Amino acid sequence: MSQLWSTVIRLIASDFPVLYADCLRGEPPEPYERAGIMTPYSPRDLADCPKCDEAWDIEVLELEGKAELFCVCPEHGWNRIDPLILRRWWLHLDPILDRFVEIMEIKGTRTPIMPNLVWKLGRRGQCQLIFVKYCREEHLKAMTAELVKHPKAVIITITPESAERLSITLPNRKFSLVETTQYPPNETLTVDFEKIEAMIAPEAVVPSQSVPRRGNRTVNIEKLVDELKAHYRSAKDHYYNSDGKILPRPSQADLARRIGTRQDDVSRCLNDPDAVLLRTLWKNAEDVRAILNS
């Protein structure tokens, strides 16, 4: 993933969505500016001293008819700085959502459900899509109370961490923009449809009634293995993003909902003598070492 996109999309899910020039890491800001995602914001009024990396006041000197900027560090003196490194941009969510809706061919009007946090995006075929900017611990209760009214909607979050948090209370199908979008340098937003389909459409691959029971079981075991592997991945990310806190293992009821089957099927799969990998993943799903080594 482009480093810059990864920074942009995660910063947008914050209360101060301002990108500093040192986050560009060599990628051009122009495509984002053209798309209206980044607009110039007041430049930094402090600069980092190249020797101690601390931020100090800036002085402007007129040298040979040209204004030059200097960082004035009490310890390391005056160091010339490039004004480009002081640039900052305000990041805008709306152009990203507009483009996303267009690519996904979502129909309807974007309407807020909770101000600046949750919107109805519209419909894609039979499916209603709800966008959640972020869900922190303190939002979960209020958000659950709203979203529980839309049990069939697919929930789209920016970060997998928000999706994971909502999964504690809401069985809706979900995916995150961090996991399913790209913004290659000098290009435009792209969406990984295959990944989205895989994350939200389990019933699409549930075999029909005519498939023999044994075949069904094998398919469900594979799906449960995939679900638990996905859980390990989020648990690992979560561990590193939250000072070593560990995610709870999804319940059998959760897993059943995610793969579109009944809870007793999940329990049968877990007890299947052939499901060795599945049982191992299930048993170790709250073991920090197993998660970090996965």
Footprint of Zn ion on this chain (CB under 5 A)? 49, 51-52, 73, 75-76
Per 3-state DSSP, the chain is made up of helix, strand and coil in percentages (nearest 5) of 45, 20, 35
Q: How many angstroms separate the Cα of 62 from the Cα of each of 67, 74, 197, 262, 269?
A: 5, 21, 59, 75, 76
Name every residue whose Cβ is closer than 8 Å to that of residue 52 and which is 6 or more positions away in sequence: 73, 75, 76
Residues 6 or more apart whose CB falls under 8 angstroms from that of 31 comprise 183, 185, 186, 187, 188
Contact 194, 179 (CB under 8 A): no
Nearer of residues 55 and 270 to Zn ion, judged by Cβ: 55
By beta-carbon proximity to Zn ion, the closer residue of 56 and 134 is: 56
CB closer to Zn ion out of 74 and 112 = 74
* Least spacing, CB of residue 76 vs Zn ion, in Å: 3
Q: Which is nearer to Zn ion, 49 or 221 (CB)?
A: 49
Q: Among residues 49 and 153, whose Cβ is nearest to Zn ion? A: 49
CB of 48 to Zn ion, least distance (A): 9
Measured between its terminal Cα atoms, the distance across the chain in Å is 21
Supply the minimum distance, in Å, between the C-beta of residue 87 and Zn ion.
Answer: 22
CB atoms within 10 A of CB 179: 19
Q: Minimum distance from CB of 57 to Zn ion (Å)? A: 12
73 or 177: CB nearest Zn ion: 73
Closest CA to 80 of 65, 98, 68, 67: 68
Residue 9 or 49 having the CB closest to Zn ion: 49
- With vertex at residue 161, the alpha carbon angle to CA 157 and CA 164, rounded to the nearest 5 degrees, is 85
- Nearer CB in complex with Zn ion: 75/138: 75
Q: Any residues with CB less than 8 A from the CB of 201 and at least 6 apart, and which? A: 173
CB of 88 to Zn ion, least distance (A): 22
State the Cα–Cα distance between residues 103 and 53, nearest whole angstrom: 42
Minimum distance from residue 46 beta carbon to Zn ion (Å): 12
Q: How far is the CB of 280 from Zn ion (least distance, A)?
A: 53
* Alpha carbon distance 4, 181 (integer Å): 13
**Considering the complex, what minimum distance in angstroms separates the CB of residue 25 from Zn ion?**
23
Helix (H, G, I), strand (E, B) or coil at 78: strand
